[in-house]
Structure 1
């Protein structure tokens, strides 16, 4: 099996070794596990350039749970939010607002449309307390302009909540520099480890203004409880212990490599794939792309059939696409232990499948 998916990903050998060496999942209410978590958190916040006073919540939950938990802890029915909705994950933020009765407006982008200042202009004179965005809309691969959104929020004194699940540790990221109040990350994407762990980084501003004053009606998702417990490197409820250990190994590997070099490796593999795929009868979107993933667009409605051929004949997994693009687009991830040589192999296999289907 070979993964070119955006999560789970092809894990690095160092993480696989940690998984293989474990006789069993260790007991975690110990000073040793606490120290591991505190060291891991220091690296995570450093790589995000999180800024003074930032705290992290570690949830044994999917990224969607972290998105919802962030809204529950930081927003009330008295707020009005602006949501960037450019795909299925932007729609997920809309759905969360609907469920929790949070007033909101959405910047709706159709497939192929890039987010720019003109798309934000109709909302310029409205009063909002915050903006929600999936900075890399994974369903399309579009990487939104964080400076554009940061400037918009700064001028209007809005909180900025960023789902960076498929961008963090893949693209350059600067939480403090872009005055981001909430960053949502997840284990199976840029961290290149098993699914099941999500991380929410919160700025001092939003902690003081919102989280510590919240009256959230939830036992498990009350961030105040997580802050208190993490003073000693623990979570209030059972964490995903094995995945936490994987996260430690992954972040230490990035530290040894150097974050800048790590990001450049991903960017180079992505650029190489985008060049090689030009030899096939597919196209790329014109909007900005994350290093994490490349959407390829077929002229004929064969994308899902190509996905199944790759899976069933070669044991190669890429991401299918949902919605109206299901038959026209596949998404190829460049995260994890993936190389330019792997790109050559994948492009050859895609070509072979297309040739076989069009005989």
Structure 2
């Protein structure tokens, strides 16, 4: 099965090889050194200071989103959430469960985030803003300059889910005043799912996290921060994925972050050029390099997905909700290049013909 999915991805052979090895015992100085070096590289690529704290959770991205909110905010806060899809909605669902007051900027399908969306909230009082900087369900890459300027002017904490953007698009945490960044292993790191990382800057750690009384054993960040001083986690991590993550970060370091990002951008742009000859279109809003939403003229998206999967052994991301039959999503990360785009376009065209011939 050839994967053009946003996570899990088509992994490099070097990463897959590590996954075939025995998982090492982890309460050792050797494993601690690996984790501390991984953390150094991760912070470097994220554009944040060594003083930022990292929490390595054996959890999905949604677990990290919930944990980050639990450790940074409370019922005494009021948050503004950019809700432009499935994962913006997830932020609202978490706040609802934890009874944290919030308001939403709700974007309709195909609607780009612009300055006008913030105008109704200029006179409102908030303590934080939550955003999925690349809304994975739509592929929209929100304007971080617009968001950061609003937060800085209003003196808000800024929490960014960068799960589908980090190591795919340029990302500079400290430059934009981002207080919390959330990532997961199966997206830009291109290793299996199972590890999520929350990175806290000095400000939110000192003003919030270190004093927060979190009603949770597993998700209390203070325990993770203390243990990671020696390169360990308080509970058993997904050790094998940590080893693969170490390799992935070192491969990017050898290649150079700029070269790595340029490659993904080139693959994305090449695909977007090639697909123009098919009876589909792509959104007009800004897109992440990670993924391209493919909008079909007719309601055949899921049928095309099934043909690609079952007949041609190719996996794309289907889309849920009201876009189920209109949109497929194609990822450009992992072990893919422009030659793979040629193959994908060829079979995508065949699948469309197959579906149309049976309708």
TM range (shorter): over 0.9
TM-score normalized by structure 1?
Answer: 0.99
Secondary structure class of the residue paired with 1:206: helix
Secondary structure class of the residue paired with 2:309: helix
Instruction: Name the counterpart of 1:249.
Output: 247
TM-score normalized by structure 2?
Answer: 0.99
Q: Give the conservation status (yes or no) of the 8 Å contact 1:266–1:292.
A: yes
Pair 1:122-2:131 in alignment: no
Q: Give the conservation status (yes or no) of the 8 Å contact 2:133–2:161.
A: yes
CA distance in 2, matches of 1:14, 1:151: 41
Instruction: Name the counterpart of 2:169.
Output: 171
CA RMSD of aligned residues (A): 0.6
Matches within 5 A, 1:1-359: 1-20=1-20, 22=21, 24-359=22-357
Secondary structure class of the residue paired with 2:118: helix
Secondary structure class of the residue paired with 1:58: strand
Q: How big is each residue's C-alpha offset from its partner over 1:37-78, in whole Å with a ceiling of 9 and x where there is no partner?
A: 000000000000112520100000000000000000000100
CA distance in 1, matches of 2:164, 2:201: 20
Q: How big is each residue's C-alpha offset from its partner over 1:103-131, in whole Å with a ceiling of 9 and x where there is no partner?
A: 00000000100001001111111000000
Unaligned runs of 5+ in 1: none
Q: Give the conservation status (yes or no) of the 8 Å contact 1:52–1:204.
A: no
Q: Give the conservation status (yes or no) of the 8 Å contact 1:170–1:335.
A: yes
State the 4+ residue runs in structure 1 displaced beyond 4 angstroms. Answer: none
CA distance in 2, matches of 1:16, 1:238: 22
Secondary structure class of the residue paired with 1:201: strand
Q: Give the conservation status (yes or no) of the 8 Å contact 2:66–2:94.
A: yes
CA distance in 2, matches of 1:340, 1:113: 29
CA distance in 2, matches of 1:241, 1:15: 14
CA distance in 1, matches of 2:213, 2:355: 57
CA distance in 2, matches of 1:10, 1:54: 31
Q: How big is each residue's C-alpha offset from its partner over 1:244-263, in whole Å with a ceiling of 9 and x where there is no partner?
A: 00000000000000000000
Q: Give the conservation status (yes or no) of the 8 Å contact 1:4–1:316.
A: yes
CA distance in 1, matches of 2:250, 2:259: 14
CA distance in 1, matches of 2:166, 2:225: 22
Q: Give the conservation status (yes or no) of the 8 Å contact 2:60–2:194.
A: yes
Q: Give the conservation status (yes or no) of the 8 Å contact 1:114–1:287.
A: yes
CA distance in 1, matches of 2:183, 2:344: 28
CA distance in 2, matches of 1:186, 1:358: 38
Secondary structure class of the residue paired with 1:192: coil
CA distance in 2, matches of 1:358, 1:205: 56
